[in-house]
A and B are shown apart, each in its own frame.
Chain A
Amino acid sequence: MLPLARKEGLHVEEVSDELMVYDVARHKAHCLGPTAGSVWRNCNGRMTAEEISARVREEGTKIDEEMTWMILHRLGKLDLLHEKVALPKNAICSSRRDLMRKVLGAGGVCFLLATTILAPTAARAKSDGPRRGGHGHASRHDHDRGRGHGWGDEHDRGGRRQDGDNR
């Protein structure tokens, strides 16, 4: 199956050279870097990774087929493609060091890939009420309160799962 970008259930907005994608069902907001955005836009279900890679290069973005596979794999994991992309055996054959070099050469992780957050519920995106020290009933706020760090419930960052570090 050739990569096909999912369109339904998504709100998309161009912000400078990045793409903001909001997934209505999953309440996730993705910021696709210029390269990832370009790859995603070209996932029309009729082009192979190689062809997508060539098309993105024609648009002026420095990318090779290996990086294209990385991005496609990531877009699939973010549910931005109709079907997840299975990486062919030899799709990524560079060493980790070489991959890092390529990523940096393409403008860095944020430029190349994507950053994702889980959109906050209304109760989370506000000041907490007072801490009630054990008296009184628990309020609705307590059920929604979690690890508040001002970046949404889930920030897709860190290690290999991470596309872009936004901090």
Chain B
Amino acid sequence: MFELRNISKSYGGVHALKDVSMTAEPGKIHALLGENGAGKSTLMKILSGAVQKDSGAIYIDGIERDLSSPKKAKNEGISIIYQEFSLVPELTVAENIYLNQLGETFWINWNELYKKADGVVKSLGFSLDVKRKVASLSVAEQQIVEIAKALVSELKLLILDEPSDVLGPREVRILYQTLEKLKERGVAIIYISHHLQEILEISDSVTVLRDGKAVSTVKNEGLTGDKLIAMMLGKVLNRPKRTTPALSSEAKVFRVSGIGLSPSFTEIAFEVRTGEILGIAGLVGSGRTELLRAIFGADTMPKKQLYFNHRSFNSTTPKKSVEWGIAMVPEDRKKQGGFLTQSLRNNISIARFDEVANRLGFIHKAKETSRVTGLTDRLKVKCASIDAPLGSLSGGNQQKVILAKWMNSGADIFLIDEPTRGVDVGARSQIYDILFELADSGKVLIIVSSDLEELITIADRIVVMKNGSIRGEVGKDDFSEEQLLRLAIEEKEI
């Protein structure tokens, strides 16, 4: 029996997990459910030794254990299978299954290796040519190899992170069969998923995480999808509200059309008015980020058509988009948004130098300083100086700097992906204030967020995406997390 007791973890002052307790019993499937960012992955990384907990304890069969490294977790019989498989594509099935043991003997007895590997695969109820390269296998087959790999060392607990996301319906059946076999062997299974139907079907019990806290743990008896949704949502603190201003007759329209994120689905088209905040909801992988990137020209989208201020255009590169007054704040601040090793000054100036530099590109430093400090003061950026590197700031302040960059560039249309990811609660409301201010000053805001409550707080209108197309649109008067979640999750139209 695996017990997590009062596990807490925070990243730079932001609580990812707070006092989370849960148990996993041998021969049972325990599901872990929660919205994006609820802390599911962090919790499982702690259990598998990839991330260190700040406080709390892990007990195995009643004895406290140290799981501070992946190796230690492995020795306790804990294996985790991520969505991204950790197989070596160019090696055979047998080599992958025994990868961790291959170096233990000087000579490899290939015949024996193949025989043993074949035995393991058969014990799961499958037959696979173990001499095939993993690269030639289907995703479902690769998943079986992953499970077989976990089985060859002592396996007491198997964690699966969104295992069905990569599988088709028939393949999901295969996965269920495999899990049944593991249950018979007395393996404890933790199954992370946001597919309610799946959880209802296969789990023995469910723990729901919300905002880093374990909201409840229930047995799968008489559970319904509605009950699970209710548990996932809950209510927390009140956030600032903005009353949608009446659309003035001067409002201009920003129109997007011809975006096809997936050939089999309908093209995306919508419009937003200046002064309006459009929210985009949907699960990870629903195409929200891709939509913003397509509008911005970060990825090529040949048939895209944009329209703003009585003019049609198709900006095929970020450079052209910026010239057209479009700005994008990407979801991954570290990789795409900012220059962590560079000064705030350079981070803010970079998208538009012409106000502070002459035609030869020489920068008038005093002008730049006053412009940049003007923005950092206005957005209440906490920093030692504007020459401090961006990386020395907290997540919330970094995000303000990225917003400042685009305000400095004079953009009219703001595409913002996850405005408050990695931002603590205090700075969050400041960022909302900035967004409201931008909208009130007549900018167009299109905001993607995984946090439904956030969208309800800031948006005037929300469209919900699923599988690369728009599933529905909800007006401000009809905002409810339940409605949004239903559109984002459920298979059929409601």
Do these two chains really belong together in a complex?
A: no
The interface of chain A, by Cβ under 8 A from chain B, is: none
